[in-house]
Every structure is written in C-alpha cells, then in structure tokens.
Structure 1
Amino acid sequence: MRQNPSFTLADVQEIRRVIDRNPWATIVSDGPEGLVSSHYAVLLDDGRDDLTIVGHVGRPDDRIHAIGEREMLVVFQGPHGYISPGWYGEVQAVPTWNYTAVHLAGVPEILSAEENLRVLDRLVDRFEGRMPEPRGMWERPNDPAFIERLAAGTVGFRLTPTRVVAKHKLSQNKDAETIETVIAHLEGDGPYAQPELAAEMRRVRQARLGAAG
C-alpha cells in the first residue's frame, strides 16, 4: 500500500483500534508457486500493548503459507465507501474511495499447542459473547477430545510486525464544509450511504479539531 503523508495513520492506539474492530484479516505470503492468500479472524495479543497479533490457520493453509518460515503480510480493512465527485459541489473533481487499512508484515512464530488452544478459546469468546446465549468452546455438547482434535488441525501463530503501513483516507485533504457534506451524504439514504464510514470520518475529524485546539 502506497503511503501518503496526508493520510498516514501512525498512532499505535489508533491502529490497534482498527485491528480490534475489524478482525477479519487477509493473510498473504509469497510461496514457491507464487503469491497465496487466506482469510481468518485475527486478534491483538492480549499480553502486549504493541501491534503484535495472534491467530491461526488450518493445516492445509499452513502448508501453502509455510507459517514461520517466511515473511507474511496481514491486511485489515476498516469502513470504506465510494465518494461521488457530485458531493464536492461545482468544482473539478473525480470519484474516489474513502477507507482505512492496516498492513502488518513480518515472520510469525508458531504457537505451542497450549498457546494455540488459549487463542482459539479467546477467539470463540470474543464473537460468541455477543450472542443471547453464548456457547463457549468447551461447553456441551463439545467435549475435550472433540476440541483437541479440531485444534490439532490448526496452526497458531504470533506476529510481531517488523513493517507497518497504516492509512486512513477520510477526506482530510478537503475543506471543513466539503467534509461535512460528504459525511451528510454517507449518513443519508442514497445509493452509497455508508453510516459506519461517516461515523469514522466524524470521529477522526473531531480528534483532529481537538488536537488543533
């Protein structure tokens, strides 16, 4: 991802927020037969306060990625959406896309079986916890033999990135009136309404105004 000074996202806590709110990641590596990619839910390492992440892949994906043997790129994507040039008023403009993205790269370490089980347990709790009647990984009708058999079919990893590229392109290069107009269209009921993107734009704009004040 090409970086642009106007849209650089460098604050570690903000990057952690993007990862935490958008855990469905794309994993990319360059294997013997070329580029390969997979998609998995990934979490921040709860024992660290940096950008270290933990996750797992199935053993078939482990074979194509060779986890732990080469550099791996993990991509997270936040709210995004189409921005019409008509929202800018009577000025020369072309369509664009607003988005937030985080790229973490490095050589991951493979987790032990015990660590992998803990990460899988935490992963289930993270998402199942929102259900009206959450069903944890170890709850019946699951039994330990079933869980351990499934876990054996996965390879857990921890990635402390050696390269980070993060970007939030949210119309920061536009004037205040134009930004508010774009947000209003995203909050509306048009064909490209995207309230999550509007909320992110408003949050980032308010943070910038607060910092400037």
Structure 2
Amino acid sequence: MLEQKIFDVTDPRLIRELVRRHSWATLVSHTPARGLVVSHLPVLVADDDPAVADGTEGTPPLTLAGHLAADDAEAHELGAHDVVVVVEGPQGYISPTWYGSGPHVPTWNFVVVHVHGRPELLAPERTYDVLSDTVDHFERHFADPWTLDRADAYARRIAPGVSGFRLPAARVTAKAKLSQDESPQEVDRLADALGSEQPWARPELARAMRAAGRRR
C-alpha cells in the first residue's frame, strides 16, 4: 500500500471510527489448496466501548469480530492461516480542473485500513452473539431498531450455516490520502467540488479532507 508517511493514520481512535462507519469489508486469505480466497462481509470492532471511543481510557489493541457463510469459512480454512481484512472508507476521483493553480494530474483520494492477523473461530453461542451485535450495529440509526430476538427461533435454526470469528490485529496499516500535500486553499477548492450536487460528488470524502486539514 501507499508508503508516503504524510498519509499514514496511526491514531487508534480514528481507525476504530473508520471500521464503525464503514463496516462492509473484504477478507483475503491464501490457502495451499485454493490459493487466494476473497470474501465480503460485515465486521465490527469487537471490544467497542463508549469510553474507548471518547479516549477516556487506554485504547486496547484492535480486535475485529465478523461472520460469513460456513462454506466460505471452510474455503478460507479460517483459523489455520493469517488473513487481511480491508476496510475501505470514503474515496473518489480528483480532477485537475478543480485546482486553482497547476500543473496537476488526476489522482484518487481515499481512506483505507488493512487489519492483519489470524482469525479465531467462535463457538455457536458466541457466533450468535456476533450476529446479534451486527444487527444492533446496523439498526442503531432507526427510530424503532429491529433486534435479532424478534426472530429468535428462526435465527437460531439457520445460524449453524454461519461461522463467527474474532481477529486480534497482529498488524494494522491505515492510510488517508486526502490532499495533505496541497495548500489549505486547494483542499478547500477540492472539497467544495466534491461536496457539490454533481455526478462526481463525494460529500463524505469532502468532509474527511477538511477534517484532515484541521489535524495538520
């Protein structure tokens, strides 16, 4: 991944927030029988806690929790090999026409986290807890959040078709390429373009760029 230090993200709270906001991830592993195996799945911060998010307690090492179809878990030989989980945040194309001065060429701004480690497969009851937590995570914005216990009997009947896991991070690499190498004035121009009501609009990316500029 991009090695320029200016784009490194090392603040564990920012990394956790990215996973919370962009929980649809890509799981990549390599097995002797199949070679590369790739799946897509929701993931959570396993040890999530408001105190950690607020920075009032020490931030523990990142651990993800997730689930995927049992057949997919078998294809990955989950638990037998190291994997990487890729969590992608806001991203978008940057046109040279948006700058106030030049020269510039097209580029792509993005935020991404790679979480490396060896998954730990979970027992059925803990897998069910991950399923319930996942539902709660995505339902939390609704006025009347749906909970898994509303369909408890059915959910428990089909849950054996799913494999839950925890992934303690052995290594985390995070990048936020958000035009930090440009002047504050240029960042504002780019963010204005991305926040406009046009087909190329990426308002979340625009907000991320402005936030990165404030942290400089």
Q: Tell me the C-alpha RMSD between the 2 structures.
A: 1.5
Q: Does 1:58 align with 2:69?
A: yes
Q: Which runs of 4+ in 1 moved over 6 A?
A: none
1:25 is the counterpart of 2:25: yes
Residue type matched to 1:33 in 2? R
Q: Deviations over 1:87-121 (max 9, x none)?
A: 12341211001000000011111112121111111
Structure-2-length-normalised TM-score:
0.89
Q: Paired residue for 2:7?
A: 7
Give 2:186's match in structure 1, choosing from 154, 161, 178.
178
- Counterpart position of 1:34: 35
Aligned-residue offset at 1:200: 1.0
Share of identical aligned residues, percent? 40
Q: Give yes or no for contact 1:88–1:182 (8 Å, CA) kept in 2.
A: yes
What residue identity is the alignment partner of 2:61? D
Does 1:83 pair with 2:94? yes
- Alignment-mate amino acid for residue 13 of structure 1: R
1:2-151 equivalent positions in 2, closer than 5 A: 2-31=2-31, 32-46=33-47, 49-139=60-150, 142-144=151-153, 146-151=154-159
> Partners of 1:152 and 1:33 in 2: how far apart?
24
Are 2:100 and 2:189, in contact at CA under 8 Å, matched by a contact in 1? no
Structure 1 Cα separation of the partners of residues 37 and 20 of structure 2 = 24
What is the alpha-carbon distance in structure 1 between the residues aligned to residue 96 and residue 206 of structure 2?
Answer: 16
After superposition, give the CA deviation of every residue in 1:11-41 in whole Å (9 maximum; x if it has no partner).
Answer: 1111111111100000111122221111111
8 Å contact kept, 1:19–1:43: yes
Aligned equivalent of 1:211: none
The CA distance in 1 between the partners of 2:144 and 2:136, in whole Å, is 12
1:91 counterpart SS class = coil
Q: Distance in 1 between matches of 2:8 and 2:213?
A: 14
Structure 1 range deviating more: 14-23 or 183-192: 183-192
- Deviation (angstroms), 1:163: 1.7
Gaps of 5+ in 1: 209-213
CA distance in 1, matches of 2:115, 2:123: 22
Report the Cα offset of residue 135 of structure 1.
Answer: 2.3
User: How far did 1:191 drift?
Assistant: 3.1
Q: 1:164 aligns with which of 161, 172, 177?
A: 172
Q: Contact 1:3/1:165 (CA < 8 Å) preserved in 2?
A: no
Q: Secondary structure at the match of 2:30?
A: strand
Q: Structure 1 counterpart of 2:7, which letter?
A: F
Tell me how many residue pairs correspond in the alignment: 205
Structure 2: how far apart are the matches of 1:69 and 1:50?
Answer: 21
Residues 29, 73 of structure 1: 8 Å contact kept: yes
Whole-Å separation in 2 of the counterparts to 1:106 and 1:147: 29
C-alpha separation in 2, matches of 1:17 and 1:109:
23
Query: Equivalents in 2 of 1:96, 1:2: separation in Å?
Result: 13
1:204 maps to which residue?
212
